[in-house]
């Protein structure tokens, strides 16, 4: 039936953001248009994240609120997608009766069919890891038109870090073929994208089929850089063990590859890194950072950290602080370890909760100092800014520098999508201010 409204709420990582766009496109073919209001929707999809316990619990409290909407409007359909859907499957249907549909990340191409069943009053559940490649069965062209775009090139993970649910929720590593990625990138650029961020749970482990055999991420980036109209390339998230020579060289050689790298290390203690099954030492990470900086001296580095992993002593934590001091991160995300059922670390004796909280605070204080310093070091510099949207004040636009800092400037004659030279004049709490250079 035509003219139905779809509301999607997205949790978790950028891959979920990308997936939500693809689901909206698939549902578009079924006559659904996006709305940004839940109370206005015929169908609500919660695209969920399972990475930490809190993230997963949020889904059930949100479903409780959605249920109230459904009590008022029994025709409303509610679906759960993403990593909680994959991990909990039928349990969601049991725990929250208002849910009509549960679909895991590898089956999104089956969504239209499932929605038809739901419209006929059935419930639908699909948490398969199907043989076919979902990307081949999603709409061929993208609906998206914005200056920045995400493009998933790799999915899943075979690394099995001892704390992490991703290998179970996203399945085995797979890389999309080169030609499909290039086609999607050209399509996005035709629709106005000037910056593309390549996505994957282990994006630098990319090894897709291309001309002449398997391509790594470095080669893919070089091919993307040949697309006219595409000004910037980024990728996330990467694993230290998959940073190969060609990709490091690409940071030196490809101007369109932005000087920002998210390279999670998780801990600075070799004992903990081993227990986490990260398969590298703190020293190996530091040497890799040296090589990255030799290739691109102004590289701004970002990382993820977990504190309070089972067995972490004060000395282990001190090693994490020491690594942070040595690297100097421009950006970082840090989390208290969250035990996830089904992962190897779940059974291990836990660090005292108050102790873990206290360590997290100390780490975050240090990271915040480094982050502020990196942002303030931009003041006085001239940077290219890709403007994405209007700013808070009249005549203002806001966008990102190559280092991924938010920058706003008076630019009454420019429109979103413009790439302009800006002199950075101030550093505020979460953004930089600047002036256009004539």
CB atoms < 10 A from the CB of 297, how many?
9
CB 381 within 8 A of CB 427: no
Alpha helix (H) residue ranges in 152-279: 166-169, 178-190, 217-225, 245-253, 270-275
Would you state the structure tokens that stand for residue 387, as one six-digit string? 């403007």
Using alpha carbons, select from 214, 259, 206 the residue that is nearest to residue 233.
Answer: 259
Which H, E and C letters describe 62-93, residue by residue? HHHHHHHHHHHCCCCEEEEEHHHHHHHCHHHH
Q: Using the Cα atoms of residue 284, residue 288, residue 290 and residue 291 in order, give the sign of their dihedral.
A: positive
- Residue 83 binds which of ligand F3S, ligand SF4, ligand SAH, none (CB < 5-8 A, kind-dependent): ligand F3S
From the CB of 131, what's the least distance to ligand SAH, in Å? 25
Q: Which of 6, 166, 276, 323 binds ligand F3S (CB under 6 A)?
A: 166
From the CB of 240, what's the least distance to ligand SAH, in Å? 9
Binding mask 154-193 for ligand SAH (x = CB under 6 A): ---------xx-x---------------------------
From the CB of 194, what's the least distance to ligand SAH, in Å? 26
Q: Using the Cα atoms of residue 110, residue 112, residue 116 and residue 118 in order, give the sign of their dihedral.
A: positive
> By CB under 6 A, is residue 12 in contact with ligand F3S?
yes
Give the residue with the Cβ less far from ligand SF4, 167 or 192.
167
Size of the site for ligand SF4 (CB under 6 A): 10
- Pick the piece of the chain touching ligand SF4 (CB under 6 A) from 140-148, 159-167, 290-298, 372-380: 159-167
> By CB under 6 A, is residue 239 in contact with ligand SAH?
yes
> By CB under 6 A, is residue 13 in contact with ligand F3S?
yes
Would you state the structure tokens that stand for residue 146, as one six-digit string? 């914005």
- Pick the piece of the chain touching ligand F3S (CB under 6 A) from 45-53, 116-124, 294-302, 406-414: 45-53
> By CB under 6 A, is residue 197 in contact with ligand SAH?
no
Q: Which of 99, 103, 166, 247 binds ligand SF4 (CB under 6 A)?
A: 166
From the CB of 153, what's the least distance to ligand SAH, in Å? 14
3-state secondary structure of 28: helix
Size of the site for ligand SAH (CB under 6 A): 17
Would you state the structure tokens that stand for residue 348, as one six-digit string? 């291990």
Long-range contacts of 92-96 (CB under 8 A, 24+ apart): 92/63, 93/123, 93/125, 95/60, 96/60, 96/63, 96/64, 96/67
Give the residue with the Cβ less far from ligand SF4, 166 or 345.
166
Close Cβ partners of 75 (under 8 Å, ≥ 6 residues apart): 42
> By CB under 6 A, is residue 85 in contact with ligand SAH?
no
Alpha helix (H) residue ranges in 377-429: none
Give the residue with the Cβ less far from ligand SAH, 169 or 401.
169
CB atoms < 10 A from the CB of 10, how many?
20
Q: Which of 107, 204, 266, 267 binds ligand SAH (CB under 6 A)?
A: 266
How many angstroms separate the CA atoms of 146 and 133, rounded?
A: 26
Kind plus residue range of the DSSP H or E element containing 56: helix 53-72
Kind plus residue range of the DSSP H or E element containing 196: strand 195-199
Within 193-252, the residues that bind ligand SF4 by CB under 6 A are 201-202, 239
Would you state the structure tokens that stand for residue 132, as one six-digit string? 């076919």
From the CB of 163, what's the least distance to ligand F3S, in Å? 12
Residues lying near ligand SAH in the complex (CB under 6 A) are found at: 51-52, 163-164, 166, 201-202, 237, 239, 264, 266, 304, 306, 335, 337-338, 340
Residues lying near ligand SF4 in the complex (CB under 6 A) are found at: 157, 159-161, 164, 166-167, 201-202, 239
């Amino acid at each position: 039936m035509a003219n139905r409204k779809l509301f999607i709420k997205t949790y978790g990582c950028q891959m979920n953001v990308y997936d939500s766009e693809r689901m909206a496109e698939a549902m578009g073919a079924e006559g659904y248009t996006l709305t940004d209001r839940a109370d206005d929707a015929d169908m609500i999809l919660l695209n969920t994240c399972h990475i930490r316990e809190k993230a997963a619990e949020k889904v059930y409290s949100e479903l409780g609120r959605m249920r109230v909407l459904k009590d008022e409007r029994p025709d409303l359909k509610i679906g759960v997608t993403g990593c909680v859907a994959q991990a909990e499957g039928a349990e969601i249907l049991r725990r929250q009766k208002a849910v009509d549909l549960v679909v895991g990340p590898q089956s999104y191409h089956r969504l239209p069919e499932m929605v038809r069943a739901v419209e006929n009053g059935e419930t639908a559940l699909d948490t398969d890891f199907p043989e076919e490649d979902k990307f081949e069965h999603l709409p061929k062209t993208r609906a998206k038109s914005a200056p920045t775009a995400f493009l998933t090139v790799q999915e899943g993970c075979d690394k099995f870090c001892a704390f992490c649910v991703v290998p179970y929720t996203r399945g085995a590593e797979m890389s999309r073929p080169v030609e499909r990625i290039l086609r999607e990138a050209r399509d996005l650029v035709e629709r106005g994208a000037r910056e593309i961020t390549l996505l994957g749970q282990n994006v630098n482990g990319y090894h897709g089929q291309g001309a002449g055999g398997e391509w790594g991420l470095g080669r893919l980036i070089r091919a993307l850089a040949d697309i006219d109209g595409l000004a910037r390339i980024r990728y996330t998230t990467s694993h230290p063990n998959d940073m190969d020579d060609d990709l490091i060289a690409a940071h030196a050689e490809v101007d369109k590859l932005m000087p920002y790298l998210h390279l999670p290390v998780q801990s600075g203690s070799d004992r903990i890194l081993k227990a986490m099954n990260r398969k590298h030492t703190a020293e190996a990470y530091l040497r890799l950072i040296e090589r990255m900086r030799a290739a691109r001296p102004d590289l701004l580095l970002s990382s993820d950290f977990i504190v309070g992993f089972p067995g972490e002593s004060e000395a282990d934590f001190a090693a994490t602080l020491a690594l942070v001091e040595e690297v100097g991160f421009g950006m970082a995300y840090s989390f208290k370890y969250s035990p996830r059922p089904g992962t190897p670390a779940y059974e291990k004796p836990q660090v005292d909760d108050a102790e873990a909280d206290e360590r997290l605070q100390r780490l975050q204080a240090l990271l915040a100092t480094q982050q502020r310093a990196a942002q303030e070091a931009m003041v006085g510099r001239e940077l290219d800014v890709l403007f994405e949207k209007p700013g808070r004040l009249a005549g203002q636009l806001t966008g990102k520098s190559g280092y991924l800092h938010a920058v706003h400037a008076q630019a009454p004659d420019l429109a979103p999508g413009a790439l302009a030279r800006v002199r950075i004049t101030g550093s505020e709490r979460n953004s930089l201010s600047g002036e256009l250079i004539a």
